[in-house]
């Protein structure tokens, strides 16, 4: 019993010191950089045949454009719309207003910045997909 207590104390101190050392040497993650279009794109999925590009991160914001997926089970002739991401590798997902992808579905708050006519706009990313180069 007397041996077990010092060993457990030694183990706890060793773990704490190892964690502190790892934290001290870890480099901070680089901040995402804005880049030109072509570093990825957002598009509607096969499940959700359309994806709205909005002026802000809320479902009541102005719809600037509607992207459509006309392949597979989605209505219309062939074709798949997309919009370029605002940040490199489609980064910068932001928490915003709540939305659902379909009536009565699960609620989400993740919005992806995209480039619409040279300005930042937003898509409800859980209703779509994004592809990086």
pLDDT score, position 133: 63
Token pair of 87, please? 């940040």
Question: How far apart are the C-alpha atoms of 51 and 62, rounded to whole Å?
Answer: 13
Label residue 56 exposed, middle or buried (CB < 10 Å: 0-12, 13-18, 19+). Answer: middle
Distance between CA atoms of residues 38 and 113, nearest Å? 14
> Tokens in use for 97?
């207003």
Over the stretch 104-124, which tens digit does the pLDDT of each residue have?
889 999 999 999 999 999 999
Per-residue tens of pLDDT for the chain, all 133 residues: 444 443 333 333 333 333 333 333 333 323 233 334 447 999 988 888 889 999 999 999 999 999 998 877 788 777 788 999 999 888 888 999 999 998 888 999 999 999 999 999 999 999 988 877 6
Q: Is 59 exposed, middle or buried (0-12, 13-18, 19+ CB in 10 A)?
A: middle
Q: Please report the pLDDT score of residue 80 as a whole number.
A: 82
Do the Cβ atoms of 115 and 37 come closer than 8 Å? yes
């Amino acid at each position: 019993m007397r041996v077990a207590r010092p060993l457990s104390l030694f183990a706890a101190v060793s773990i704490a010191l190892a964690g502190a050392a790892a934290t001290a040497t870890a480099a901070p993650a680089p901040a995402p950089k804005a880049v030109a279009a072509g570093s990825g794109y957002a598009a509607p999925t096969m499940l959700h045949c359309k994806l709205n590009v909005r002026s802000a991160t809320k479902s009541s914001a102005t719809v600037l454009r509607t992207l459509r997926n006309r392949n597979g089970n989605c209505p219309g002739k062939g074709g798949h719309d997309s919009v370029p991401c605002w940040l490199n590798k489609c980064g910068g997902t932001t928490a915003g207003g709540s939305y659902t992808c379909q009536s009565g579905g699960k609620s989400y708050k993740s919005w992806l910045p995209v480039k619409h006519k040279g300005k930042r706009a937003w898509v409800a990313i859980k209703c779509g997909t994004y592809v990086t180069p």
